[in-house]
Amino acid sequence: MDNEALIDSFSDFKYEKNIDRVSLMAILEESIRSVLRKKYDSSKNYDIIVNPDQGDLEIWRNRIVVLDGKVKDPNKEIELSIARKIEPDFEIGEEVTEKVELRTLGRRSILSLKQNLLSKINEYDNTNAYKKFKNKVGEIMNVEVYHILAKQIIMRDEEQNEMVLPRQEQIPSDFFRKGDPVKVLVKRVEWRDNKPFAILTRKDESFLEELFKLEIPEVSDGLITVKKVARIPGEKAKVAVESYDDRIDPVGACVGMKGSRIHPIVRELRNENIDVINYTSNTQLYITRAISPAKVSMMEVNEEYKYVNVYVKLEEISKAIGKGGQNIKLASQLTGYKIHIFRDFPYEDDVELIEFSDEIDPKVLDKFHKVGLNTAKSVLNYRRNDLSKRTNLEEKIINKVVSILKKEFEEELNINT
């Protein structure tokens, strides 16, 4: 192979891999230097000139003239008699520059050069792909199903880059065939067998948030902010939204006329039921909205331990908890508070447990406080055996506490033991 042939073959890579001119020159020079280092232990005394646009490649070796018989390193030194055959007026200590043709390096060196070039090009290609994927983390992409495996699906984008949608990142009801177009979110990028792979998701909360940006102009324009998303993929989701413009109804804008804006998102998520609520910094109001469609009678919020006791009427309990506990689970995720649901007994007023410190040992009261039971009402809404399990108190102590608390309400309501 001569210099021109190498440039021609390398140009094919340039167009196939879309390598820019500067990178092309750097890859070619470094590959040649790598071969020279392997053959001569050093490439520092070589000048390599690459001009891929012109199809030029020149390799020049520089050697110092020494006395005949005094050459220690033939790669860096040349005998005076040989130097004078090149140029008769060379003197000892001067530098001789000679052009080197690739074919003079030998068949093995040329083969090594080809392998090195291919390796560098693949490395360049993989690095570019990694950067491209990395820049798309958190974004939605339109991809196509390429290969379906037991634990993952291989997807391809428009540039035929392969990406992975693991089974655990799919919506449980997802079903795909080869060639199907799919919307996915790039979750992260990993290296596998020295190749970058984008790990995709349709299950992440961020996927739903990005779908809102995609489908709802006010969200993509920043007029409406998605504050928090809680999901049980394919089943139910709650999304808290907020607008800084009082003229915009964030919930109405997200849902659209007769659900016109939310329906495409629901369909994309395999009929996932989506509740959109107004975000507020008022904790009690936020929790009340999050627990919807159940109507809240009252609640006790503990900011220190991040829990809340919510009281609802008997007929509202199933709504508050939801199918399989979905509603209360999502409300907890959305608000960041652990939510306990209690039946709202018809006491007119509740009483803080601390008010009973003259009748109940403070250490016992502290046990109730630590599990989120701060009022008489919250304690009386529990069965005695459940109270014993939660507080780790003996049954006789529980009975005594319940008896004291009931007396407080005897005139108001007759409660059977």
Tokens of 398: 């529980």
Polymer length of the chain: 417
334 and 226 share one domain: yes
| C-alpha triplet 140, 166, 175: angle, nearest 5° | 80
Q: How many separate domains does the chain show?
A: 4
367 and 259 share one domain: no
Omega of the bond prior to 293 within 30 degrees of 0, cis?
yes
- In-domain check, residue 393: yes
172 and 283 share one domain: no
First-last CA distance in the chain: 99
| Domain termination residue (choose one: 68, 103, 128) | 128
- In-domain check, residue 212: no
- In-domain check, residue 172: yes
- In-domain check, residue 211: no
- In-domain check, residue 210: no
Contact 250, 224 (CB under 8 A): yes
185 and 242 share one domain: no
224 and 256 share one domain: yes
H, E, C per residue of 127-169:
HHHHHHHHHCCCCEEEEEEEEECCCEEEEECCCCCEEEEEHHH
Q: What does the DSSP assignment read for 16-46?
A: HHT--HHHHHHHHHHHHHHHHHHHHS--TTE
Tokens of 348: 């007119």
Q: Whose structure tokens read 């109940």?
A: 360
pLDDT of residue 282: 93
H, E, C per residue of 78-135:
EEHHHHHHHCCCCCCCCEEEEEECHHHHCHHHHHHHHHHHHHHHHHHHHHHHHHHHHH
- How crowded is residue 27: how many other Cβ atoms within 10 Å of its Cβ? 22
- How crowded is residue 399: how many other Cβ atoms within 10 Å of its Cβ? 14
279 and 161 share one domain: no
Domain that holds residue 378: 353-409
pLDDT digits (tens), the chain, 417 positions: 455 555 555 555 555 556 777 777 788 888 888 888 888 888 899 998 877 666 577 889 999 999 999 999 999 999 999 999 999 999 999 999 998 887 777 778 778 777 877 788 888 888 888 999 999 999 999 999 999 999 999 999 998 889 999 999 999 999 999 999 999 999 999 998 888 999 999 999 999 999 999 999 999 999 999 999 999 999 999 999 999 898 999 999 999 999 999 999 999 999 999 999 999 999 999 999 999 999 998 888 888 889 998 988 888 999 999 999 999 999 999 999 999 998 876 555 678 888 898 899 999 999 998 888 888 888 887 888 888 888 999 999 999 999 888 887 764 444 333
Contact 208, 230 (CB under 8 A): no
43 and 121 share one domain: yes
120 and 142 share one domain: no
Contact 218, 148 (CB under 8 A): no
89 and 140 share one domain: no
328 and 223 share one domain: yes
3-state secondary structure of 201: strand
157 and 47 share one domain: no
DSSP 244: S
CATH code of the domain covering residue 193: 2.40.50.140
- In-domain check, residue 254: yes
- In-domain check, residue 416: no
pLDDT of residue 417: 33
pLDDT of residue 127: 87
| Domain termination residue (choose one: 72, 106, 128) | 128
CATH code of the domain covering residue 303: 3.30.300.20
| C-alpha triplet 28, 72, 100: angle, nearest 5° | 30
Contact 138, 211 (CB under 8 A): no
3-state secondary structure of 231: strand
288 and 395 share one domain: no
- In-domain check, residue 415: no
| Domain termination residue (choose one: 203, 228, 261) | 203
CATH code of the domain covering residue 83: 3.30.1480
- Cα 21 to Cα 54: distance, rounded to the nearest angstrom: 12
